[in-house]
Amino acid sequence: MAGETWKLIQERWRHHGRAMLGIALAATLIAWACEEAKVLESTEHIAYDEALVRFTGGRKESKQVVVVAIDQDSIDEISQNAQLQINFGNWPYTRTLWASIAQELKAQGARAVLFDAVMDERTADESVDLGFAQVLRETGLPFYLGMSTSESAKRIVHADLQAPVPLTVPEAAPAASPPEDDSFPEEEEFKEAPAPATPVLTPGALARALAFPARRAEGEPLPRIGQMPSKPPPKPRYPVPPTPALVSAVNGVGLVDMEADGDGSMRRTRFAYTDGTNTYVTLPVRMMADLLGAKEVVFSGRTLRLGEHTWHVDPDGSAALDYGGPLEKRFVAVSLFDVLNDWIHRSKGEKLDLAADIFQDKVVVIGGTAVGLNDIKATPFSAAEPGLVKQATVVDTLLSGTFITRAPLAVDLGLTFFVALVSVVLLMTARWTPLEVAWPVALILGLHVLTGLLLKTAHTHVLMAMPALAGVGASVAALAFNHLVANRETQFIRQAFHRFMEPKLVEQMIRSRQLPRLDGENKEITAFFSDIRGFSTFSERFKEDPRQLVRILNTYLTTVSGALLREGGCLDKYIGDAVVCLFGAPMAQEDHAVRACRGALAAKAAVEVLRVDFREKGFPDVYTRIGVNSAVNFVGNFGSDQLFSYTAIGDGMNLAARLEGANKAYGSVIMIGPRTYELAHEHIEVRELDRVRVAGKTEAVTVYELLALKGQLDASTRHTVARYHEALGLYREARFAEAVKVLEAEAARSPEDGPTAKLLERCLEYLEAPPEKFDGVANLEK
């Protein structure tokens, strides 16, 4: 079976290989064109998100990054406490609160703080900003602040990044002190400091504070600020700097723009941008540059380098974020109010509520999680995720992770062509309806698993939508091709066999898709051969009237053919008066041997009726001998470019022809071979005639006379068969005299039985001239 299947695959590939390659290539090019035209962008986003969530989600909490969440509980607690309202106000809180948070985080051993927000508006009381700045300087806590961009912002002058940042910093107000107890009295407990002057920043100094060296080793420009993966920005955008007091106090500032894809979901980051004059980095990169001792950001090919550290990125300098799960499962989140409360407890020498090591040596990301803060974004893991999850993920990855990068175009195209080719070869080769239905589904699921595993193990994003489109498109084209080929084959089968098989069988063969392999195949069939005794003498009588011979012969052939067709036979050919018929091909028939036996008996009965009619009309006798044999033969279309027909060749066909001729030597009408008897013995009545050796063969085979269908043999014939078998046993033991006695008695009782007479004649011959070497096997000559 496996060998036959492989031959079928080779055969169809040989016949349709160019069509398969052409369809696969066309499907690949169409899918690539759709990808380049962004037609598949939304579909790819959906597929990517599904694979990312299913295969990369569930990672353990980060051990290096902690989130301080401005959550709804914190907002409620502060708004419901009169003293805190007086001290910090409503959201956005006064910077005195952030000074207190910075002091507490420093006390708890935080490594650095990334503040996912901007402070670009001056407060009414500038001393508050200066007080916050003074706290940052005094604590020495690395503190990094966000910086937004705007189309209305002023262009920043070119930054001389080699020069120092000269600042004139006046004496700042002292930091706020906590209340004496935690009852938050209504009277103000914080002493008011004298109003200091705001530091002065020159344009050059401001530029040096905001910009950061970033370049491509290949000399290509960085993306413009605000540039999204899906489309370029409509207008130039420029950074909006924090207030001057904070610019001089924080360790660095970085861009915190959304960096969303066209559908609004945050999947990637670009790390560094330019406004055409200066280069700027994102907030996580700015912080990590200091933590890693890097003086510039360098992109080289598919590598991002900060100091001695490198990460794989895409050729355009971007990379996808390996979130590993939603915010609440990936990072330890501490409520802002809990940190503020511990600051109050610490200042009073009271026991802290938070774990002692919760911030120890951790990078702290501060950002909003409350819905009312309008910092809810979409990510692959959630349509409503706090925006700070992006900053936390980038920081965590830069500390000890790997970004997700796009596979090279050659890999995407190779996979696309491979999927298209497999689809078209599979469907055009198998031509199996269940597979045609199931394959597109299996294809999509397989690509989902493949891309998901690559995301998980190799952190590589291989396109799914493009190969899926190519595979489905190639499948549709393959089905259309199969339909066209099937229609052609069906029409050919109908034309080729409607004259040689029952029309109902032809249609059944077509409906059941049991179409023959017209270029040939090995299969077991049963062959039928018949011939008229003395046809040469028969035709001599009509030498002067050949038309009458044709009419008689046509009547005979129609009679025999009709009996065979009714049993499902396929007429192979007519050779003069001889009829050749196949059972089991082209339509597969498990009971081909039984059908052939029934057909032979039906043909014999029909000829007997015809003989009576011919005798009454004075026509010659059409006594017919029949040979039937089952064997594996090679069946298919044979012939030349000018003429070919569906037939069979092989030793099995030769033996069937020999058996037809051997009837003459045994006085029988229908002789069948050993394999036919083996397959049909439960359905037929036979007489074992002899063991014969065919010319050119050394192995002897047993041949049988087909007498009737099972249970239809009359008692007289049954008696004759029994006596014949008795005599045959004696004959094989070379007891010829004893065999003669049995045969003479039976011949006297049934003088019309041909095999009895023939075996008697042979035994008498051996009595007169005993053979020198007798093995009980007769030689069946050509």
User: What backbone torsions phi and psi does residue 151 show, to the nearest 5 degrees?
Assistant: -70, -25
Residue 174 CB partners (closer than 8 Å, separation 6+): 131, 134, 191, 193
Is 773 part of a structural domain of the chain?
Answer: no
- Please indicate, yes or no, whether residues 612 and 481 belong to a single structural domain of this protein: no
If phi > 0 it is left, if psi is from -120 to 50 it is alpha, else beta; for residue 653 that is alpha
Return the bridge partners of 274, or none: 224, 279
Together in a domain, 623 and 605? yes
CA distance 440 to 431: 14
Q: Do 399 and 419 lie in a common domain? A: no
Domain of 559, CATH number, reads 3.30.70.1230
* pLDDT tens column, 540-581: 778 878 888 889 999 999 999 999 989 988 888 888 889 999
Element (H, E) at 659: helix 651-666
Asked whether residue 614 is domain-assigned, the answer is yes
Q: Cβ contacts of residue 117 below 8 Å, gap of 6+?
A: 145, 146, 256, 366, 367, 368
Domain count for the chain:
3
Please give the distance of CA 341 from its chain centroid, rounded to a whole number. Answer: 56
Distance CA 459, CA 312 (A): 10
**One domain for residues 400 and 530:** no
Residues of the chain with pLDDT under 70: 1-12, 163-199, 229-234, 486-519, 639-644, 696, 781-782
Asked whether 306 and 289 are in contact (CB, 8 A), the reply is yes
- Residue 621: how many CB atoms within 10 A of its CB? 13
Q: Which domain holds residue 425?
A: 2-39+415-491
In a domain, 621, yes or no: yes
Q: Are residues 310 and 331 in the same domain?
A: yes
Rounded to whole angstroms, the Cα distance separating 608 from 70 reads 106
**Which contacts qualify for 639-643: CB closer than 8 Å, 24 or more apart?**
none
Residues 477 and 376 in one domain: no
Whether 439 is covered by a domain: the verdict is yes
> ω into residue 223 within 30 of 0, thus cis?
no
Q: Are residues 419 and 395 in the same domain?
A: no
Q: Which of 690, 713, 736 is the last residue of a domain?
A: 713
Examine the domain organization and report whether 93 and 232 are in the same domain.
yes
| pTM of full prediction above 0.75 | no
Q: How far apart are CA 494 and CA 505, in angstroms?
A: 10
Distance (Å, whole) CA 613 – CA 528: 25
**Residue where a domain stops, chosen among 673, 696, 713:** 713
Residues 496, 504: Cα–Cα separation, whole Å: 14
Same-domain check for residues 593 and 460: no
Tokens of 720: 């004759």
Residue 452 lies in a domain: yes
Are 218 and 313 members of one domain? yes
Q: What is the pLDDT of residue 563?
A: 94
The pLDDT, as a whole number, for residue 352 is 92
Let me know if residue 751 belongs to a domain.
Answer: no
Q: Measure Cα distances from 384 to 213, 371, 374, 381 in Å.
A: 34, 9, 11, 9
Which of 585, 581, 622 minimizes the C-alpha distance to 600? Answer: 581
**Residues 180, 304: one domain?**
yes
Q: What digits encode the pLDDT tens for the residues 210-265?
A: 999 999 998 889 999 987 765 666 689 999 999 999 998 999 999 999 899 988 99
What pLDDT is recorded for position 340?
Answer: 96
- The four Cα atoms 65, 68, 71, 75 give a dihedral, to 10 degrees, of -170
**Pairwise CA distance, residues 556 & 610, whole Å:** 8
Distance CA 635, CA 638 (A): 9
Residues of the chain by 3-state class (helix, strand, coil), percent to 5: 45, 20, 35
pLDDT at 125: 80
Please answer whether residues 659 and 532 qualify as being in contact, where contact means their C-beta atoms are separated by less than 8 angstroms.
no
Do the domain assignments include residue 778? no
Residues facing residue 574 across a β-bridge: 579
Phi and psi, residue 241, nearest 5°: -70, 155
Q: What is the pLDDT of residues 129-181, one digit of tens each?
A: 899 999 999 999 999 999 999 999 999 999 987 766 554 444 444 444 555 45
Tell how far CA 362 is from the center of its chain.
44
Give, in order, the Cα–Cα distances in Å from 99 to each of 94, 175, 478, 540, 576: 9, 7, 69, 128, 114
CA distances from 735 to 629, 730, 743, 764 (A): 31, 5, 12, 11
Mark residue 109 as left, alpha or beta (left: phi above 0; alpha: psi -120 to 50; beta: remaining). Answer: left
Residues 229 and 305 in one domain: yes
d(CA 429, CA 435): 11
With H, G, I as helix, E, B as strand and everything else as coil, classify residue 298: strand
Final residue in a domain of this structure, among 405, 439, 461: 405
